[in-house]
Structure 1
């Protein structure tokens, strides 16, 4: 069906029209950061493979939006283990994090470190001190962290040390599959589409009452952008690439596979004339429909497990890997990645570097991921497979997951929504819709 040739929380960046004192502090901060950078490049400040605490003194402040109570044990254990420094965690509201950070930098009291979600890495890249590869080698990074963590790699250095990976998986309703004599969930998209007609139930008026899957639309499909991104990346398109320090869209790259058929595969699930028709915009939100026992397959993140259980404790479901392109020589799913970044305005840069490296070590990373019910980013931890009903799938999926450097989650939501709706409304061919989305993404990357 697909031939390979090759919704997360929205946050809109606030206005940067701040003047006066903030601009002065900004300039001074960059000068200080640049001088410290010279020390790092020269080897006067060493980080990376040396995870000792030599030279780490004082208090470093870490900001994040994770609730303190959830990771309190991990933070306490970190401070007990690393007594030459003190790590102080400050929980911030996700809705005001950006504003709080700018105001703190303007007043000179910003954090030394902050937890960085991958979908905000592009937005914050100018407030991050990139860790140079001379101090933490690319080989060490790839050896220590799963591929999804590479979203933090740029030509200038490492934006953040990956800590946790939340992979996209396919939750399936066991009762619905059992009732239709389906022994195992599909592993390829070919198998997946073959099951759609038998699992989609309609009433006498052809109205869908139970569906195989929620694909083909955008507004009522949780994680729609990430599902489409997964299909594109499975086809060999990374969505973005960096050339000479600048990021560009690869969606419309003529040197790569035409993504039009891939987009068409997705939108066909919402086309009443297609055999794969199983979803339309009149149906409920996909996560709610799955929880209400109305959906056989739901594409969601590992981090959604607790919410799904709480919504319907009696729902008989399990996770499975996202289907792959048949006969592909690699596996791929999307992921949300959390890392720890060093602020370019830190007044204790050496200790901040060391603290960031220690936070990415096995002990804290394991406890952090477990507290959030997601997978760790470290390869050595992913090798230790759990034995429960859920986490073996989460761990294996995290190992081959990928992410892309989203320049603005809210704006790219609009771009992907437009791409889908232009096809569904017959305003554009799938080829033109992808080209249009690529052009809009490039405009976003330069603004």
Structure 2
């Protein structure tokens, strides 16, 4: 396997300059002496294992033998604290991973992608006898326009800030519908729901109660904030699909407003629909705050539908190897007319305080890893992740297990564009909790949503 990988990487070297050279100019040997010196880069991340990123690192180092890249993986729970501590102590990594909606939070600690860079390359030169030679080229980097052309829309919407590129992703994930085949079969439901209307029809048939009225088998986990992974993503998706404009042109939250100056408030309607599934007085009642974690209950075979991301597939398979489950496209309001999906992804960025000689190779590696389709495809195949590049979508739509997620990428969206993503997620969770517990005739759901919007909008501009 190692030899096969090395052969693949060597073949990639010969085509890398056309792929990555958005524009280049050859320099003399004096430039080589100045730039060709040992460079050591540190890369910190959360989700990738060292063995998984080795494909990317080895391919890059084959072209740039003077560059070494040391990858370190952290637990999600410790990562942000470790990263901020390292920055304060001026020992931060040259390359680091961030959730896309954290880019503005840490914007001042990110070195934006320069317009061009000078870099040494290992190339085979000569007419009769090919020999390895170090040459220096000036590379014109990927531009915001080319980001929009190469990546799915949701990437450009978040990584481009003030017409500068602050990060690039290896992959983009989307919400999809996991379902338990055995539960659906037992309820005589031949196919999983494809619309929210179909789910409403199926929910009473899939939810079972014990003699005390407690839920012992649930149709789907919806309606609460405390025991549903990524509950705020699901609620935001419902609002988008319902026609809510999440933000205006300046990034301020507007999902409390009526649709097109009408009397219909899509954000409120979506929130009420979401809450119905945890309301014992509704026919779709199938979930409660007292139940366990939704992912755990799905793995235990007590939940018919689970809304989750691709990254949760290996978790389910490892935790419940005998569970008969499949993955279907995310539920839609009006499929084939106005399909809307929800995206979540992390980006690679370069630390603004990194040594000046490390900036060019750090950003060059990020561009190489995220845009070289040959190398990136090896990585995505190894990690079973959906692509962020438009050019790889059709190929992934032929891969069982990735086809659902790849098919959803072109109409996947996200929304928050502010500087305090942690706090806003808490506000959205608070919206769910208060809407369930604290409404009355004097403090309505409209009052609540307006208050949450005001709180969110205090985070849009930096203090």
Distance 1:414 1:430 in 2: 18
Give the CA deviation at 1:307: 0.8
Q: What are the superposed Cα offsets for residues 349-402 of structure 1, whole Å, 9 maximum, x if unpaired? A: 333332221121223433343444321211111120355542211221233322
1:144 matched to which residue of 2? 150
Query: Which of 421, 425, 434 in structure 1 is aligned with 2:449?
Result: 434
Q: Structure 2 vs 1, CA of residues 297 and 53 (structure 1 numbering), >3 Å: closer, same or farther?
A: farther
Q: 1:204 aligns with which of 197, 202, 211?
A: 211
**Structure 2 residue aligned with 1:276:** 284
The question of whether the paired residues in 2 share the 8 Å contact of 1:51 and 1:358 is answered with no
Q: Quick one: distance in 1 between partners of 2:21 and 2:313?
A: 34
Superposed, which structure 2 residues align to 1:217-228 within 5 Å? Answer: 217-228=224-235
Please give the residue correspondences for 1:257-272 in structure 2 after superposition, counting only pairs within 5 Å.
Answer: 257-272=265-280
Counterpart position of 2:221: 214
Distance of aligned partners of 1:83 and 1:261 in 2 relative to their CA distance in 1, 3 Å threshold: same
Task: Report the secondary structure of 1:164's partner residue.
Answer: coil
Matched, 1:232 2:239: yes
Contact 1:166–1:335 (CA<8 Å) still a contact in 2? yes
Q: Match of 1:383, SS? A: helix
SS of the residue aligned with 2:458? helix
Report the Cα offset of residue 412 of structure 1. Answer: 2.4
| Alignment correspondent of 2:361 | 351
TM-score scaled to structure 2, two decimals? 0.77
Q: Are 1:250 and 2:254 an aligned pair?
A: yes
Looking at both structures, which has the greater relative contact order when contacts are Cα pairs under 8 Å and sequence separation is at least 6?
1
Q: Which of residues 75, 78, 89 in structure 1 aligns to 2:59?
A: 78
Is 2:284 the counterpart of 1:286?
no
Contact preservation (8 Å) 1:62, 1:87: no
1:118 is the counterpart of 2:100: yes
Q: Quick one: which of 320, 332, 338 aligns to 1:324?
A: 332
Which secondary structure state, in structure 1, belongs to the residue aligned with residue 111 of structure 2? Answer: coil
Quote the Cα distance in structure 1 between the aligned partners of 2:351 and 2:381: 26
Per the alignment, do residues 135 and 395 of structure 1 end up closer, same or farther by CA in structure 2, a change over 3 Å counting? same
State the alpha-carbon separation in 1 of the partners of residues 149 and 430 from structure 2: 39
Q: What's the secondary structure of 2:169's corresponding residue?
A: strand
Structure 1: gaps (5+ residues): 1-46
Of residues 213-222 and 328-337 in structure 1, the stretch that sits farther from structure 2 once superposed is: 328-337
Alpha carbons of structure 1 residues 255 and 180: separation in structure 2 relative to 1, 3 Å: closer
The C-alpha deviation readout for 1:311-355, integer Å capped at 9, x for no partner, is 111111011111111256332222221222132223133333322
Unaligned 5+ residue runs, structure 2? 1-19, 116-139
Identify if the C-alpha distance between structure 1 residues 425 and 48 changes in structure 2 by more than 3 Å, giving closer, same or farther: farther
Contact 2:167/2:347 (<8 A) preserved: yes
> Judging changes above 3 Å, is the alpha-carbon distance between structure 1 residues 262 and 72 closer, same or farther for their aligned structure 2 residues?
closer
d(CA) in 2 for partners of 1:350, 1:368: 23
Give matches, 1:145-160, under 5 Å: 145-150=151-156, 151-160=158-167
SS in 2 for 1:114: strand
Instruction: Describe the shift of the 1:92–1:306 C-alpha distance in structure 2 as closer, same or farther (beyond 3 A).
Output: closer
Task: Tell me the SS of whatever aligns to 2:346.
Answer: strand
Query: In the TM superposition, what is the alpha-carbon distance from 1:228 to its structure 2 partner?
Result: 0.6
Give the CA deviation at 1:205. 2.8
Instruction: Tell me if 1:91 matches 2:72.
Output: yes
Equivalent of 1:64 in 42, 45, 50:
45
Q: Work out whether residues 337 and 403 of structure 1, in 8 Å CA contact, stay in contact via their aligned partners in 2.
A: no
- Residue 242 of structure 1 deviates from its aligned partner by 5.3
CA distance, structure 2, for counterparts of residue 109 and residue 62 of structure 1: 12
Note if contact 1:241-1:250 (Cα within 8 Å) is conserved in structure 2. Answer: yes
Question: For the Cα contact (< 8 Å) 1:335–1:403, is it kept in 2?
Answer: yes
* C-alpha deviation, 1:210, in angstroms: 0.9
**2:56/2:369 contact within 8 Å kept:** no
Distance 1:176 1:81, change over 3 A: same
The more displaced of 384-393 and 265-274 is 384-393
1: CA distance, partners of 2:69 / 2:445: 50
Asked if 1 retains the 8 angstrom alpha-carbon contact of 2:219 and 2:305, the reply is yes
Q: Does 1:373 align with 2:384?
A: yes
Q: Bigger CA drift: 203-212 or 128-137? A: 128-137
Give secondary structure in 2 for the equivalent of 1:220: coil
State which drifts further: 58-67 or 286-295.
58-67
Whole-angstrom distance in 2 between the partners of 1:105 and 1:386? 40
Question: Which stretch of the first structure deviates more once superposed, 230-239 or 418-427?
Answer: 230-239
Helix, strand or coil: the match of 2:93? coil
Write the distance in 2 (CA, Å) between the matches of 1:104 and 1:284. 36
Q: Secondary structure at the match of 2:103?
A: helix
Aligned equivalent of 2:426: 414
Query: Cα distance, 1:139 vs. partner?
Result: 3.3
Q: 1:306-317 alignment to 2 at 5 Å?
A: 306-317=314-325
TM superposition shift of 1:279: 0.9
